Homo-oligomer: A and B are copies of this chain.
Amino acid sequence: MMNTYASSDAIACLRQAGIPVTHQRIEIARALFSAPVHLSADQIWAKVLEASPDVSRATVYNTLRLFSEKKMIRELFVDPQRVVYDSTTAPHYHLYNIDSGEVRDISDDELRVIGQPRLPAGVVLDAIDVIVRVRNRAV
């Protein structure tokens, strides 16, 4: 199988992040980084199972949390009870379709955030999330 993102790439990526390498983590990394994606944990699990049927759901959830902590991926809270993982970590914004659940990136020339908020003392900036919510036109 000709994959743009090979196991060796995934291994290098994990090593660089200081994460011990395992089969499962390699498969999860490949599911995420073969192409830019916006997927829920269960969608990623399904994708991983295609390549490697012996990965448990719990491992996928735990690994996604680990990757998020290591800033390899980004968590998007588009809905309560629905976390979407974004394999692109460069700053950018999102368009979310409430009806279909679809997430799309917004390019920098479409929307820009200017200014910076006054931060209360003792806190540091973590991220700026912009989510443009749309719905299907009413029938």
Instruction: Say yes or no for A134: interface residue by CB 8 A criterion.
Output: yes
| Segment at the interface with B among A6-14, A25-33, A46-54, A109-117 | A109-117
Q: Mark A101-138, 1 if CB is under 8 A from B, else 0.
A: 00010100111111111111011111111111111111
The listed residue (B83, B118, B136) touching A80 by CB distance below 8 A is: B83
Tell me whether B117 and A126 are in contact (CB under 8 A).
no
0/1 interface trace, chain A 93-107, chain B, CB 8 Å (1 if under): 101011000001010
Given the known interface contacts A80-B83, A114-B111, A114-B112, the answer about A119 and B131 at a Cβ–Cβ threshold of 8 Å is: no
Partner of A98, one of B98, B109, B126: B126
A: residues with CB less than 8 A from B are 75, 77-83, 93, 95, 97-98, 104, 106, 109-120, 122-138
